[in-house]
Amino acid sequence: MSMQPIKRGLAALVLMGLALPALAQTTVSDAWARASVPHQQSTGAFMTLTASSDSKLVSVASPVAKTVQVHEMTMNGDVMGMREVKAVELPAGKPVTLDPNGLHVMLMGLNGQVKEGDKVPLTLTIEDATGAKETLDVQADVRPLNADAGGGHDHMHMQH
C-alpha cells in the first residue's frame, strides 16, 4: 500500500488548519467574588479582561446562582443606579476592569452562602468582531464582605 495518498491527505488537513482564522484570545486576571452572609440572595464578581482583538463579553454563567448578569453602576448626583448591560466591549489590547464601582458581574438567586476562601466558578462567553465565540472557565477567589477592588473606593450597597 502506498503512503502517498495519506501524505497528501495530511498535507491538505495542515493547510486547511492554517487557513482558518485564529480565534481571539482573551485573558482574565484578578478574578474575585465578594463573600455573602447566610440567606443573602446576591453578590458580585469582579475581574480584569484583556482581549487580543476587538471583542465583547456577551454572557456569564455560574452554578452558584440562578441568574448571572453583567451590571453597570452609575451615579446621577447622589443617587446610585444599577442596570443590566447586554455586552461589555473589549477593545484590542486594552484591559477592561469589572469592579464594584462600575461594570461588574451580579450573581443573583444564590444557591447557598459564598464563603471567604472558596472559589466561584464562572463561565465567560466572549465574541470577537467576526462573531466567533470563545468560552473561558474562571475560578474567582472569594474575598471578605468588606473587600473592595483595591483602589480604596467606598462601595455603596443597594438591593438589586
Q: What is the pTM of this model?
A: 0.76
Do the bridges between strand 96-98 and strand 55-61 make them parallel or antiparallel, or are there none, so unpaired? unpaired
pLDDT at 5: 60
pLDDT digits over 97-132, tens only? 999 889 999 999 999 999 999 999 999 999 999 999
Domain range 23-143, CATH class: mainly beta
Domain boundaries, the chain: 23-143
Report pLDDT digits (tens) over 128-148: 999 999 999 999 999 998 877
How far from 60 is each of 22, 87, 156, 157, CA to CA, in Å? 23, 10, 23, 22
* pLDDT for position 20: 42
